[in-house]
Amino acid sequence: MPEKILQGIPASDGIAIGPAFRYIPAELTVPARAAESADVELSRFDAAREQARVELQGLSNAIEKRAGKEEAAIFEAHREMLNDPALEGRVRELVESGQTAEQALVNATDELAGLLAGMNDELFSARALDVKDVGRRVLRILLGLPDTALGAVTEPSVIVAEDLTPSDTASLDPSLTLGFVTAQGGLTSHSAILARTLGIPAIVGMGNNLLENVPGGTFIVMDGRTGELLIEPDEEITGRYQKVKSQRESQMQILKAAAEKDAVTANGRRVEVAANVGEAATARDAIEHGAEGIGLLRTEFLYLEDTQPPSEEKQFHIYREIFEVMAGRPVIVRTLDIGGDKPPSYLPFPTEMNPFLGWRAIRISLDEQDLFKTQLRAILRAAVGHHARIMFPMVSDLDELRRARDIVDTVKRDLALASVEFAFDVPVGIMVETPAAAVMVDALAEASDFFSLGTNDLTQYTLAVDRGNAKVANLFQPLHPAVLRLIKQTIDAARAKGKWVGMCGELAGMTKAIPILLGFGLDEFSMNPRAIPEAKRLIGQLTDERAREVASHAMTFGTAAEIENYMKGILTELA
């Protein structure tokens, strides 16, 4: 019987074969209904509490096996909270005053959490969030909804979801995640980027019927290179995919071995090929794939994985570990790029019509200066003896850049006054990811030591196309002539001012773009680690002269489709 094949946007290379795990985050709203008798409501509460206890025990066992006793301790603490006499007593009181079990639970946990948060103590604030978490679990059970949180994945599976937020993706356990497939999202939505960084096969933008088509547990094969999802394929087809999977893996091994050497063009010019990384494990992986540095250290995941911002000490240790892994190679640390599709829970986010045009990145850093200073202190301290640079995201204005640099100077002064050791000479640069920055590079050069092109946002903002919206994914064209002109203009203007210019947007790792970018004279290409071996191979095949010819010819076209078509021919020539 022919299997069912669905087509989506190929977002992260790799083949995954296994059962589907459907991730459906539950919407928890307290129903408006009259309360039953107090006895009935209380016994519903007790039964839900009992089930929560069983769930937490299961989670605790699974996490202990996966990550150790320490990691599992949080679920033990949650189990204890279920028995907290203060919580139980308050629920009882509220039920006896006529509330339903759900209302009483929400009110009692809110009150208790408010009390703990009001104590102005880090430990108690953390407990306040735990109380809320436990309350949410019991409420979900009272509402009769299943536990479909990602923590409930207990066997290696392909995650199938409507969409994944970056924090969902960050919380995926790599040892249990064979790959993921989402109905929404585009090539440069942050979950897709993270998948590429982690080397998890991914397909996005599958369309609205995805969850209907893939019941939980269905056996599936997915190919993140082609965007194909096969539902219940037979043994022969599965075997074929298994074979392709191992062929691709051995090809990668060959390319990886060659990638140990520095990247040079066919006429012998050195070009830097670096990696986009979010943690020490990926940094190690990046070196294995031939990374000569980190062109983008994404620090935002540190801010998203927890219910409170990371402390200076925590950041210091993480950055230092990454610098040590990179052993003297250059590392560009991007300061917090949250907001947009990456809002953490602890900041007061307004309801925004257009979050990507709203309170995001450098705008948050300039408003929440304590948060920003804490990060800068951690970076400057960890950078001692290492080759680090600091980079601000989403700058669109010189005044913004000057203000951010002033804060760096203040932090340095404070560290010096407190006799804390820190790296004094850390270059400070910006991402060029707004059209405003791209056309103002000559002016921004006054306060920026270097530039790095962020083509994901630059494409989104230039073409007015939401990078995560599957409906307009076909309009998201980083090779659009308008985007290419801004890229060229940025490189030319930076060069004229004697400034180094790299690229850390996804375009830097796309083979169809590399010859053009090389022809423009880009100094550094930073990409997901797995794209490095092929990028180095391609650079080695091109002379600067040929790259310049290709770039000039590409600039004569009026549409992205024409440029893509032209580049297809060039890549065949270079294969």
CB of 199 to Mg ion, least distance (A): 21
Task: Give bridge partners of residue 272 from the DSSP assignment.
Answer: 524
CB of 361 to ligand PEP, least distance (A): 8
Q: Both tokens of residue 355?
A: 């979050």
User: CA 491 from chain center: how many Å?
Assistant: 27
364 binds, among ligand PEP, Mg ion, none (CB under 5 to 8 A by kind): none
How far apart, in whole angstroms, are the C-alpha atoms of residue 30 and residue 48? 15
How far apart, in whole angstroms, are the C-alpha atoms of residue 525 and residue 530? 13
Q: Which stretch binds ligand PEP (CB under 6 A): 229-237, 257-265, 449-457, 559-567?
A: 449-457
The helix (run of H) or strand (run of E) holding residue 138 is helix 122-142
Residue from 337, 341, 523, 524 that binds ligand PEP (CB under 6 A)? 337
Q: Both tokens of residue 157?
A: 């599976």
Instruction: Kindly identify the residues of this chain, within the stretch 329-368, that bind Mg ion according to CB under 5 A.
Output: none
Q: Both tokens of residue 143?
A: 């509402």
Instruction: Catalytic residue, from 386, 387, 504, 553: name it.
Output: 504
Instruction: Kindly identify the residues of this chain, within the stretch 188-207, that bind ligand PEP according to CB under 6 A.
Output: 193
505 binds, among Mg ion, ligand PEP, none (CB under 5 to 8 A by kind): ligand PEP
Q: Both tokens of residue 456?
A: 């994901």
Contact call for residue 505 and ligand PEP (CB under 6 A): yes
Q: Both tokens of residue 214?
A: 């893939």
Q: Are strands 4-7 and 294-298 parallel, antiparallel or unpaired?
A: unpaired
Residue from 279, 457, 466, 523 that binds ligand PEP (CB under 6 A)? 457
Q: Which residue is nearest to Mg ion (CB)?
A: 457
Q: Which stretch binds ligand PEP (CB under 6 A): 18-26, 72-80, 121-129, 450-458?
A: 450-458
Q: Are strands 177-182 and 202-204 parallel, antiparallel or unpaired?
A: parallel
Angle between helices 69-82 and 38-67 (to 10 degrees): 170
Specify the residue, 285 or 433, whose C-beta has the smaller distance to ligand PEP: 433
Site size for Mg ion (CB under 5 A): 3
Q: Which stretch binds ligand PEP (CB under 6 A): 85-93, 112-120, 366-374, 452-460?
A: 452-460
How far apart, in whole angstroms, are the C-alpha atoms of residue 356 and residue 455? 14
504 is catalytic: yes
CB of 393 to Mg ion, least distance (A): 6
Q: Would you call 264 helix, strand, or coil by DSSP?
A: strand
φ/ψ of residue 19, rounded to 5: -80, 150
Task: Give bridge partners of residue 7 from the DSSP assignment.
Answer: 228
Which one-letter amino acid corresponds to residue 500?
A: W
CB of 340 to Mg ion, least distance (A): 8
Specify the residue, 13 or 337, whose C-beta has the smaller distance to ligand PEP: 337
Site size for ligand PEP (CB under 6 A): 10
Instruction: Kindly identify the residues of this chain, within the stretch 269-308, that bind ligand PEP according to CB under 6 A.
Output: 296
Contact call for residue 455 and ligand PEP (CB under 6 A): yes
* Under 8 Å between Cβ of 280 and 321: yes
Interaction mask 421-460, Mg ion, x per CB under 5 A: ------------x--------------------x--x---
193 binds, among Mg ion, ligand PEP, none (CB under 5 to 8 A by kind): ligand PEP
Contact call for residue 433 and ligand PEP (CB under 6 A): yes
Residue 170's alpha-carbon distances to 32, 151, 318, in angstroms, are 35, 12, 16
Q: Would you call 471 helix, strand, or coil by DSSP?
A: helix
480 is catalytic: no
379 binds, among ligand PEP, Mg ion, none (CB under 5 to 8 A by kind): none
CB of 171 to Mg ion, least distance (A): 21
Which one-letter amino acid corresponds to residue 199?
A: G
Residue from 504, 510, 547, 551 that binds ligand PEP (CB under 6 A)? 504
Contact call for residue 341 and ligand PEP (CB under 6 A): no
CB of 199 to ligand PEP, least distance (A): 17
Concatenated DSSP letters for 32-84? ------HHHHHHHHHHHHHHHHHHHHHHHHHHHHHH-HHHHHHHHHHHHHHT-
CB of 360 to Mg ion, least distance (A): 9
Instruction: Catalytic residue, from 78, 190, 386, 387: name it.
Output: 190
Specify the residue, 201 or 454, whose C-beta has the smaller distance to ligand PEP: 454
How far apart, in whole angstroms, are the C-alpha atoms of residue 419 and residue 349? 36
At residue 439's C-alpha, the angle toward residues 437 and 440, to 5°, is 60
524 binds, among Mg ion, ligand PEP, none (CB under 5 to 8 A by kind): none
253 burial level (CB within 10 Å; 0-12, 13-18, 19+): exposed
CB of 273 to ligand PEP, least distance (A): 16
Concatenated DSSP letters for 558-575? SSHHHHHHHHHHHHHHH-
3 burial level (CB within 10 Å; 0-12, 13-18, 19+): middle
515 binds, among Mg ion, ligand PEP, none (CB under 5 to 8 A by kind): none
Task: Give bridge partners of residue 229 from the DSSP assignment.
Answer: 6, 222
Specify the residue, 233 or 295, whose C-beta has the smaller distance to ligand PEP: 295
CB of 560 to ligand PEP, least distance (A): 17
Binding site for Mg ion (CB under 5 A): 433, 454, 457
Binding site for ligand PEP (CB under 6 A): 193, 296, 337, 433, 454-457, 504-505
Positions annotated as catalytic residues are 190, 504
